[in-house]
């Protein structure tokens, strides 16, 4: 018992060493420039999206409301992991105190859980807009949208409190070297010298609840959308719907595939180059690509929306969601 307390105290005082992505000097310099550019691009893209959604009354619609939440989350999400990644590339290895590592873990778990549920909420919004257009004003009224967004943020926070508390209570035997570029669940579990069965169980249950639950909602929504698209009489409408959904499905598919592979496995997972590459995909690549896929290709977001004219009175502005307007007419993104 005294030995365990001594090891825990030593972990808290000495912290952790993060090996980062690469130890070769030439490669580190190139990767630093690439990831710094991606980081700045991600912040710029999401800042533009949030500014447009807040300033343009024409974009005050459910799907853009969720996109605004997602953009705010992406900026926070990438800012949690990117600083240690860049620090590790500029001055490898990166050293972190125990408290800073746990704080990063807490924020990361909270944000990734929130992102999963927000993506599921966006898929549900698209389902209602395409499959139940006449009920869209009621099912996606402002109170419902705010409730879904708030539940996503609070749900991620609650899961993070439970998982982080379990991991922070473990003892670490040293040398406390993490073969990763940020403090993640699996590398920390690998370093623990105490019994981690309960922590692994909590980690697995929360992964199944958050990741698999939100994925099932998204898949069910897209399955219903697919059947609705097949019943559309117009080939042009089907092409537009499939094109819009395909773009979203690619981003969601890459994100969910990487996350589920990393976190929905019981037991300790050894840190490896593959794990780090997958972590780069959902912590760096998807936040940088999501704004382009969701909004920057969209004419309604790319340019200042104009008031409806007599020619456009029968259809809504194009939207990233492929949603139908209150009148029930198709308005797929272009």
Contact 68, 53 (CB under 8 A): yes
Q: At what angle do helices 62-90 and 25-55 cross, to 10 degrees?
A: 160
What pLDDT is stored for residue 303 in this prediction? 56
Alpha carbon distance 257, 285 (integer Å): 13
The answer to whether the beta carbons of residues 199 and 105 sit under 8 Å apart is no
Angle at 85 between CA 208 and CA 8, to 5 degrees: 65
pLDDT for 262 = 67
If you count DSSP H runs as helices and E runs as strands, how many of each does the chain have, helices first? 13, 3
- The whole-number pLDDT of residue 106 equals 95
C-alpha–C-alpha distance, residues 324 and 307, integer Å? 18
What pLDDT does residue 108 have?
93
- Determine contact, residues 98/178, Cβ cutoff 8 Å: no
Contact 331, 323 (CB under 8 A): yes
Strands (E) located in the chain: 16-18, 94-96, 177-178
Cα 96 from Cα 182, distance rounded (Å): 9
Residue 172 carries which DSSP code? B
Q: What is the pLDDT of residue 94?
A: 82
pTM: 0.79
Question: Residue 178 forms beta bridges with which residues?
Answer: 18
The reported pLDDT for the residue numbered 330 is: 32
- Which mean pLDDT values do the consecutive 10-residue runs of the chain (334 residues) have? 42 70 75 92 91 86 87 92 88 83 93 91 87 89 94 92 89 79 84 80 81 88 88 79 69 76 54 72 83 64 44 37 36 32
Using only C-alpha atoms, the chain has a radius of gyration, in whole angstroms, of 22
């Amino acid at each position: 018992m005294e030995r365990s307390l001594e090891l825990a105290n030593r972990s808290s005082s000495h912290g952790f060493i993060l090996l980062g992505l690469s130890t070769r000097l030439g490669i580190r310099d190139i990767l630093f420039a690439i990831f710094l550019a991606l980081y700045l691009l991600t912040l710029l893209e999401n800042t533009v999206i949030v500014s447009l959604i807040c300033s343009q009354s024409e974009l005050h619609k459910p799907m853009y409301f969720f996109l605004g939440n997602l953009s705010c989350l992406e900026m926070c999400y990438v800012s949690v992991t990117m600083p240690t990644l860049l620090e590790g590339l500029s001055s490898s290895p990166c050293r972190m105190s125990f408290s800073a590592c746990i704080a990063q873990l807490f924020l990361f778990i909270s944000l990734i859980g929130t992102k999963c549920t927000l993506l599921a909420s966006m898929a549900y919004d698209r389902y209602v807009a395409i499959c139940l257009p006449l009920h869209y004003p009621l099912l996606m009224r402002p109170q419902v949208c705010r409730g879904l967004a708030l539940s996503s943020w609070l749900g991620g926070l609650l899961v993070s409190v439970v998982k982080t508390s379990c991991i922070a209570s473990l003892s670490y035997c040293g040398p406390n070297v993490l073969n990763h570029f940020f403090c993640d669940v699996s590398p920390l579990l690998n370093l623990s010298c105490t019994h981690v069965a309960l922590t692994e169980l909590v980690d697995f249950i929360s992964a199944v609840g958050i990741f698999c639950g939100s994925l099932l909602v998204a898949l069910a929504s897209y399955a219903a959308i697919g059947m609705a698209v097949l019943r559309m009489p117009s080939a042009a409408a089907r092409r537009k719907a499939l094109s819009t959904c395909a773009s979203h499905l690619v981003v969601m598919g890459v994100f969910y595939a990487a996350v589920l592979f990393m976190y929905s496995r019981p037991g300790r997972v050894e840190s490896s180059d593959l794990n780090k590459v997958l972590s780069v995909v959902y912590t760096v690549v998807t936040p940088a690509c999501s704004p382009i896929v969701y909004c920057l290709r969209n004419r309604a977001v790319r340019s200042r929306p104009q008031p409806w004219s007599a020619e456009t009175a029968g259809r809504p502005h194009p939207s990233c969601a492929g949603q139908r307007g209150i009148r029930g007419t198709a308005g797929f993104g272009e």
